[in-house]
Amino acid sequence: MHSLGSYFSYSAGDRLSNNIQEIINFPADDNNAQIKASSQGVLGRADGKKGNWAVNWVSTKAGYATELPGTVQAIDETFNAVIDEYKQNFENLRREGPTTKTITALKDCFQKELSMIEGLKNICNVYHQRYDLPKESAESKTLASSVYSSLFQVDASKKQEGLHLLDDTAHKWGSVIAQHGEEFSQLVQYYKEQQEAQSGSFDLSASVISPKAFQQFSKQEATGRLDAFLATWSHHIDPTEAREMIDQGQELMGYILKGVVTNPAETPMGSEKAVTSLMWYLMKLAIDKKQGHDQGSFGIEDPQGRLYQFLLKAEGCGDRESSHYVGRSEATTGISTLVMKSSRHKGIDVVSGKLPADKRHLLFAQVDANTPPLHGDASSSAKEKILFIKLEDFSPFMTTAYGYDFAMHGAELAIAQYNKAFLPGSDDLPEMAKERVPAATVREFIAQVRNLDHVNLSEINQKMTARGFAGEPEKAAKLYGIAYMTAFMQEAGNLAILPIEFDPSKFFASLPNLDHMDRRTGREVYLTADELI
């Protein structure tokens, strides 16, 4: 909650953005939740255990007399500003005609309205539950009025006036937004018919033609819709800014892969925004695959290493330890190896709050790919590399945020290692996109390997070595993941004689429904070179 003094530093734009978020994020099921406007018209939470509008804010009759009207007025003015934004975008659409750009801009405004009216309904419901007068008896009403008066030094009917103000405001703006919904649906239908008549196709995604209030999105929807992703996991960037970042990232990616741009500092946007835009473009590619995520990583084919070299030159890039791809990338040396094996990777801080899913750090490295050895030489240790990228909640660098990030990163790492050791499967849920091999798949693979005899295993291991996968099957499965296990099962299926107990169907049934199964390790978002452009 903001301190009262901090409100004096708010600009008009900051105040509007803050008020929109306070309305949208007001909880539906917390009877202690409260919202109040400061003297500057800035909305903030003022929760109190007694459910008292005056707690931590005002306690005098004079102060309370202006509190409710001021809060409702701030809510009303916020809606008015958002409605004006819708009208402006509607006029732009009428002037320029319906296009993907103009319809998407109008949709963003309408979706913001839907989310705000949902939040205002929550405010009304919570306050009615708290302040509606008891109806049991005249005695209980008198007692309630006495209690209210002792708390607020004002007659309880004042609170009823406040509820009426809230209800009237919700009804007024609800009617306006319902009208906007009808307008938007008609526009989309008109544009759809126009496009299909001209080209036989329709290029608007479900996230554009089916707007929903942010509060109504599920995590499953967030994996495959940009608007749902923003509402669920990215709270510091609005849809318009996110789309601008995606477009900039796509353009920049093209220049990087062509070798035109090699250094983030040389871009017009600067190093931090260049890195941020690239990450938004990558996340949009993941969302298009229905693999958007709050926790996860990317495996990216970067044959010439141009994207990797670009990130190496980013401002603040430094060496760091990593618990990822141990055995498939350069190992860390030193005293830390006594605690756990780790890899020597790179990291970049991006603490602007603009990274996807509100992350603050970018971890990356070149790691061995799940493809045959270079030049087809099975005896060679040279492997093709892929670029591993993972967005993290906190930085591991000790100087970031005066050590706060370092402490929080350490705590998260400890929890992750505990889950990995004692709660297998808890960190490879379907909505996650981690490169960790799904626990159920590993179990089925090991069960089938143990059904093979020594002759079978010897033949398969020879063929797997030729493919560039060395090592005993159970260990290799955990190192190389899905690509190794599917190749192993395919080689086993080619054998002339197999034990009757061997049944690979159970293994294949345990695999996640993802693309590039011949290259991936776990659930990571795997992007080929062709998919990057």
| Mean pLDDT computed over 9-34 | 87
Residues 250 and 398 in one domain: yes
Q: How confident is the model at residue 54 (pLDDT cuts 50, 70, 90)?
A: very low
What phi and psi, each to the nearest 5 degrees, are found at residue 299? -115, 115
Q: Domain for residue 304, yes or no?
A: yes
The reply to whether 212 falls in a domain is: no
Question: What pLDDT score was predicted for residue 374?
Answer: 56
What type of residue sits at position 470? A
- Numbers of helices and strands, H then E, in the chain: 18, 8
Q: Which two tokens stand for residue 43?
A: 């909305």
- Both 239 and 318 in a single domain? yes
* 113 shares its domain with 225: no
Residue 160 confidence (pLDDT): 74
* pLDDT at residue 224 is higher than 90: yes
CA distance 286 to 389: 13
pLDDT of residue 337: 60
| 251 shares a domain with 359 | yes
Report the largest interatomic distance among the alpha carbons of the chain, rounded to a whole angstrom: 92
Indicate the average pLDDT of the chain.
85
Strands 318-322 and 343-349 come out as antiparallel
Residue 127: per-residue pLDDT: 85
317 vs 47, which has greater pLDDT? 317
- % of the chain exceeding 90 in pLDDT: 60
List, as one string, the DSSP characters of 227-290. HHHHHHH--SS-HHHHHHHHHHHHHHHHHHHTTS---GGGSTT-HHHHHHHHHHHHHHHHHHTT
Q: What is the pLDDT of residues 125-165, one digit of tens each?
A: 988 887 775 544 444 444 444 444 444 444 556 667 778 88
Domain boundary among 422, 452, 486: 422
Angle between helices 473-480 and 439-449 (to 10 degrees): 160
> Which pLDDT tens digit goes with each residue over 467-523?
888 889 999 999 999 999 999 999 999 999 999 999 999 999 999 999 999 999 999
Tokens of 411: 């705590």
Q: Mean pLDDT across the stretch 458-469? A: 90
Residue 31 lies in a domain: yes
The token duo for 100 is 């993907």
Task: Please give the average per-residue pLDDT across 100-115, as a whole number.
Answer: 94
DSSP for 60-105 reads: SHHHHHHHHHHHHHHHHHHHHHHHHHHHHHHHHHHHH-S-HHHHHH
How many independent structural domains does the chain possess?
3
353: closest CA among 6, 15, 17?
Answer: 17
Calculate mean pLDDT across residues 13-21: 91
What SS3 state is found at 460? helix
- Look at residue 409 and tell me whether its pLDDT is greater than 80: no
Distances (CA, A) of 252 to 213, 247, 262, 316: 32, 9, 10, 20
What burial class does residue 131 get, using C-beta atoms within 10 Å of its C-beta: 0-12 exposed, 13-18 middle, 19+ buried? middle
Question: What average pLDDT does range 5-25 have in this prediction?
Answer: 78
Residues 452 and 415 in one domain: no
Closest CA to 101 of 253, 247, 248, 278: 247
Which helix or strand (DSSP H or E) is residue 115 part of? helix 100-131
The span from the CA of 400 to the CA of 394, in Å, is 9
Residue 340 Cα to chain centre, angstroms? 29
Give the span between the Cα atoms of 209 and 415, in whole angstroms. 40
Regarding whether 230 and 301 lie in a shared domain, the answer is yes
Range of the domain at 76: 12-132+153-194
Token pair belonging to 453: 């005899």
80-94, 224-238, 381-395: least confident range: 381-395
Is residue 169 within 8 Å of residue 76, measured between CB atoms? yes
- Amino acid at site 247: D
185 and 308, same domain (yes or no):
no
Kindly state whether residues 407 and 313 are assigned to the same domain. Answer: yes
**Rounded-to-integer distance, Cα 283 and Cα 223, Å:** 10
Do 226 and 253 belong together in one domain? yes
Q: How confident is the model at residue 334 (pLDDT cuts 50, 70, 90)?
A: low
Beta-carbon contacts of 202 under 8 Å, excluding residues fewer than 6 positions away, are 192, 195, 196
348 lies in the same domain as 389: yes
Place of tokens 């050590």: 403
- Which pLDDT does position 65 carry in this prediction? 35
The answer to whether residue 377 is domain-embedded is no
pLDDT at 14 over 70: yes
User: Which amino acid would we find at residue 454?
Assistant: H
**Position 6 in a domain:** no
CA distance 435 to 443: 17
Is a pLDDT exceeding 60 seen at residue 405? Answer: yes
Share of the chain above pLDDT 70, in %: 84
Cα gap 458→202, rounded to integer Å = 54
pLDDT band of residue 1 (cuts 50, 70, 90) is very low
Overall average pLDDT of the 38-47 stretch: 87
Spatial CA neighbour of 33 closest among 100, 150, 123 = 123
Residue 292: inside a domain, yes or no? yes
The 10s digit of each residue's pLDDT in 235-291 is 889 899 999 999 999 999 999 999 999 999 999 999 999 999 999 999 999 999 999
Residue 417 sits in the same domain as residue 445: no
Q: Tell me the two tokens of residue 8.
A: 């004096």
Is position 331 within any domain?
no
Residue 402 burial by Cβ neighbours in a 10 Å radius (0-12, 13-18, 19+): exposed
pLDDT of 33 over the 80 cut: yes
Q: Model confidence over 351-373: pLDDT tens digits?
A: 988 999 999 999 999 999 987 66
Same structural domain, 44 and 168: yes
Residue 376 reports pLDDT greater than 60 = no
User: What token pair was written down for 117?
Assistant: 């009216």
Distance CA 295, CA 297 (A): 7
Q: Which two tokens stand for residue 483?
A: 């690509």
520 in helix, strand or coil? Answer: coil
Q: Which residues contact 163 (CB under 8 A, 6 or more apart)?
A: 124, 127, 128, 131, 132
